Amino acid sequence: MKHIYKKYIEHFNTNLLQCMVLGRGHNGVVYLLPDGKVIKVCFSEESCRGEYYILNKVNGNKYFPKVYGMNGNYMIRDYVGGICLRDYVKEYGFDRELALKVVSLLEEFDKLKFTKRDIRCKDIFVQPDGTLKVIDPKKCYSKERDFPRHLSKGFEKLGILDYFMEVVKEKRPKLYRRWFRKIREYIREISEEDD
Ligand SMILES: Nc1ncnc2c1ncn2[C@@H]1O[C@H](COP(=O)(O)OP(=O)(O)O)[C@@H](O)[C@H]1O
Ligand SMILES: [Mg+2]
């Protein structure tokens, strides 16, 4: 961990009280630091190590916030602006350009040799410049998942899955063939559960 972050570690609690909470999830709370970076304080050291391992491995990749270090149950990483894909789609809709950006993100998971080639809608952020970033990567190198299962569930809920798959079919026929049956099966399964 770099020297400049020592002050946050030494006077951790008092400093954090003055920081804005950016959000909280099942694993921790994320605060905005005065220098514009963020600190994620995890509820367990294990989940912190797991997430840090992934972010450190992909450090410098344009789709992920840079990490600067971790200590115990917390890590410092870059702030990601914009709004999550789910809220973005609800507000501004979904088009071909955005569909292709999501495809490129999933192709990046292949390049990074993730064993889990999946992501939740709420963990993709659309930044003000239109680029995408993943905020909360989990189990990318431990879980086996060869198609975007969570993502397709989210897209189905938003009513954009069929359109997304049309774009995939036209632009990436190979990917389409890899995903199509698995996605169809999975969507059928979850819709039967809902009945
Ligand atoms: N790098 C970041 N920049 C801006 N906001 C963030 C960042 N990381 C997380 N957040 C916000 O904090 C919330 C919780 O963080 P997240 O990493 O998803 O925690 P958890 O692992 O508990 O789900 C996110 O939903 C998001 O709103
Ligand atoms: Mg989360």
Tens of pLDDT, residue by residue over 77-105, are 999 999 999 999 999 999 999 999 999 99
Structure tokens belonging to residue 137: 């990567």
pLDDT for residue 14 is more than 70? no
Q: Mean pLDDT, to the nearest integer, of 22-42?
A: 92
Q: Domain 3-77 in CATH: superfamily?
A: Phosphorylase Kinase; domain 1 (3.30.200.20)
Q: What is the pLDDT of residues 112-153, one digit of tens each?
A: 999 999 999 999 999 999 999 999 999 999 999 999 999 999
Please state the domain extents for the chain: 3-77, 83-194
Quickly state the pLDDT bin for 34 (edges 50, 70, 90): confident
Counting ligands in written order, the one closest to the CA of 48 is 1
Q: Mean pLDDT, to the nearest integer, of 184-194?
A: 91
Looking at ligand 1, which residue's alpha carbon is closest to its atom 11?
Answer: 23
pLDDT for residue 106 is more than 70? yes
DSSP state, residue 140: T
DSSP state, residue 93: -
Residue that wins the pLDDT comparison between 111 and 19: 111
Report how far ligand 2's centroid is from the alpha carbon of 25 (Å): 5
pLDDT for residue 18 is more than 90? no
Quickly state the pLDDT bin for 10 (edges 50, 70, 90): low
Query: Which residue is associated with the tokens 């239109």?
Result: 130
Quickly state the pLDDT bin for 16 (edges 50, 70, 90): confident
Residues 6 or more apart in contact with residue 87 via CB below 8 angstroms: none
136 lines ligand 1 (CB under 6 A): yes
Mean pLDDT of the chain: 92
Query: Maximum Cα–Cα distance for the chain, whole Å?
Result: 56
Q: Specify whether the CB–CB gap between 127 and 101 falls below 8 A.
A: no
Looking at ligand 1, which residue's alpha carbon is closest to its atom 23?
Answer: 25
Q: What is the pLDDT of residues 150-185, one digit of tens each?
A: 999 999 999 999 999 999 999 999 999 999 999 999
